[in-house]
Structure 1
Amino acid sequence: MVLLCVKVKRGRFNQFSGTASTYVIIKVHNLQSVTVPRPGSEPCWEQDYSFDLSDIQSGLLVQVWKSGWIWDSVLGNVWIPLQSIKHATDEGSGEWWTLHSEVETNGSEVCGIRSPTSHEILLDLFFAESYELQPHNCKELPPCFTTLQHFGKQNASWYSQIFQILTHQSRAPAAIISAPRFLCFHA
């Protein structure tokens, strides 16, 4: 299992109405997350997501949607092969990606994009560095981590939210130790 971390940062949309709102849908495997809508031609989301993946042979689809009065419409798409995403210990400044108007599929699976637009999105993508849990690494773990491990097995969404809170509130360097549904943090 690997942990894919995605930070949806900003957008730059040319020839765009200043009052319209946009939101981002992130899709990987059968998982999906959605940002809150933000108005304007240069929206700032600054929202973090993490996905626990067992297979990195496919890709990440990022879609920017424009909110409408009657229905919403796709402003553009980015498809990123998971194998092209780097491993890191912390978030970076991100990379600007050009949105494309069309998605290429092979059967029901997305395999690429075409027809670039003048719109861009700033994303920070990385696989969290981890190492196997060893008894000597966790000599003085607080009891709350045992609770987190047990509860995380029951509720993956809650577990993911706690992971995001713990990893982004602390400014001290932290190493993430991963085992099935278990987290330890060391300063």
Structure 2
Amino acid sequence: MSKKEFIEELNEIIKDPIFIGNSIDDLFSETGENTWGISMGQELANEFTMEELVLFFTQVQTNRKEQITQISDHPMIFYAWFDWQAASLKFSLISAFHEKLPFISPYKTIASIEPIIAEFLQFQFHDGFPIADIQDEISADMGEEEKMSEPLNVFAAVLSNDREPM
């Protein structure tokens, strides 16, 4: 897929309709309907810049805020993270009345999406993990005590349902 074709697909994501729940019981529906992922091969990832992906996420947030303003009586939380196991930038939207983001693993919220995009762009395994190369590492780690992993970095922003600019 060419970069131009990929950008056309991203433009479709920008316009996707969202689901807005009415209570905390709608969390499963919100995460199921409002979660997107972006994956690409290494060659395509090398063609993208930070600025292009920041612009994409700005457009997504603007569109989601417009939808929230038109159809919701409450704000929502837009959040994004890098899922390195899937080599994917993920983002989602849940109602702001949820007390925390729906992650099982520890996470920390960060004020800017740029570090998440940078991690994605600098990731070396967009085309898959070289299992043969890391087999020795896995064997060496088998005898060690399980290490605590770093919390997942998550960019989060509240998108209000008023007509004020983001």
Task: Give TM-score scaled by structure 2 length.
Answer: 0.28
- Hey, which of these two has a bigger chunk of strand by percent? 1
| Structure in which a larger fraction of residues adopt helix | 2
Tell which has more relative contact order, 1 or 2 (C-alpha 8 A, sep 6+). 2
TM-score (structure 1 length as normaliser): 0.26
